[in-house]
């Protein structure tokens, strides 16, 4: 697959991303627990899977698990980790979320952690996600909603982008995100915030494909 120009930031960041430690283990555990019933015994597709942390944790419960990311370096690090810790259900593939349709494969569950805010065409990609799901399938996302973030974070972002600490991201609010998910043909079944302490601006949304 030719590299999407948007992937260059993530290819550059990948080795550092792999070394980053989770800032809020309890929040992550809550998000994984919410996913568990929708992953157990199901065919799962993960978008923007990064270095495979979530895939390696959830795939053992699934029937099959395809973890994708458009950054080749992210996928190669995930492959190195999978080689150390093999999970028979887990396949890794470099793929742009926007270009997944037409592969003749459909899934029970699609997961997208920390990636919807990075999409240049959010509405178009949500329609692709809907097509990747079997009828009655479930889409679970956890997404940075920058508009709901404390003002200091919003003000710092242009500087962080300049020094490549942060990528380009869409300034979503929770309300924007809910509206986009619904207009792509989903019904929102659950919306939760999982952070332990500070103000949380990453809603976890469980949406059912109509």
Ligand X SMILES: C[S@@+](CC[C@H](N)C(=O)[O-])C[C@H]1O[C@@H](n2cnc3c(N)ncnc32)[C@H](O)[C@@H]1O
Residue 49 to residue 190: CA distance in whole angstroms: 22
Residue 181 to residue 154: CA distance in whole angstroms: 23
**Site mask for ligand X (CB under 6 A), range 85-104, x = bound:** -----------xxx------
Cβ proximity to ligand X, 48 vs 203, nearer residue: 48
Name the pairing type of β-strands 133-142 and 204-209.
antiparallel
Is there a contact between 141 and 114 (Cβ–Cβ < 8 Å)? no
Min dist CB 135 to ligand X, Å, is: 24
Does position 113 interact with ligand X (CB under 6 A)? The reply is yes
Residue 168 to residue 166: CA distance in whole angstroms: 7
Among 90, 119, 204, 205, contact with ligand X (rule: CB under 6 A)? 119
Does position 140 interact with ligand X (CB under 6 A)? The reply is no
Label residue 62 exposed, middle or buried (CB < 10 Å: 0-12, 13-18, 19+). buried
Does position 48 interact with ligand X (CB under 6 A)? The reply is yes
Q: Which stretch binds ligand X (CB under 6 A): 58-66, 79-87, 111-119, 190-198?
A: 111-119
Is there a contact between 111 and 86 (Cβ–Cβ < 8 Å)? no
Does position 203 interact with ligand X (CB under 6 A)? The reply is no
Which residues between 159 and 178 bind ligand X (CB under 6 A)? none
Residue 80 to residue 21: CA distance in whole angstroms: 18
Cβ proximity to ligand X, 9 vs 174, nearer residue: 9
Label residue 195 exposed, middle or buried (CB < 10 Å: 0-12, 13-18, 19+). middle
Cβ proximity to ligand X, 99 vs 210, nearer residue: 99
Residue 122 to residue 134: CA distance in whole angstroms: 20
Q: Which stretch binds ligand X (CB under 6 A): 109-117, 126-134, 178-186, 197-205?
A: 109-117
Among 10, 107, 186, 201, contact with ligand X (rule: CB under 6 A)? 10
- Give contact residues for ligand X (rule: CB under 6 A): 7, 10, 47-50, 53, 69-71, 74, 96-98, 113-115, 118-119
């Amino acid at each position: 697959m030719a590299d999407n120009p948007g992937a260059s930031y993530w290819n550059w960041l990948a080795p550092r991303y792999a070394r980053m430690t989770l800032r809020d283990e309890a929040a992550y555990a809550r998000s994984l627990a919410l996913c568990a019933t929708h992953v157990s015994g199901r065919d799962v597709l993960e978008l923007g899977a990064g270095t495979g942390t979530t895939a390696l944790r959830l795939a053992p419960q699934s029937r099959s698990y395809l973890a994708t990311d458009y950054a080749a370096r992210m996928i190669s690090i995930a492959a190195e980790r999978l080689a150390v810790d093999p999970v028979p259900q887990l396949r890794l593939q470099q793929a742009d979320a926007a270009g997944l349709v037409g592969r003749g494969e459909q899934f029970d569950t699609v997961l997208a952690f920390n990636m919807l805010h990075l999409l240049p065409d959010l509405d178009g990609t949500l329609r692709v996600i809907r097509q990747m799901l079997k009828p009655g399938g479930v889409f679970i996302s956890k997404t940075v909603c920058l508009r709901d973030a404390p003002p200091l974070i919003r003000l710092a972002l242009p500087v962080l982008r300049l020094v490549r600490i942060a990528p380009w991201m869409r300034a979503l609010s929770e309300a924007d995100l809910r509206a986009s998910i619904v207009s792509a043909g989903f019904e929102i079944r659950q919306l939760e915030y999982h952070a332990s302490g500070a103000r949380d601006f990453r809603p976890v949304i469980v949406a059912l494909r109509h």
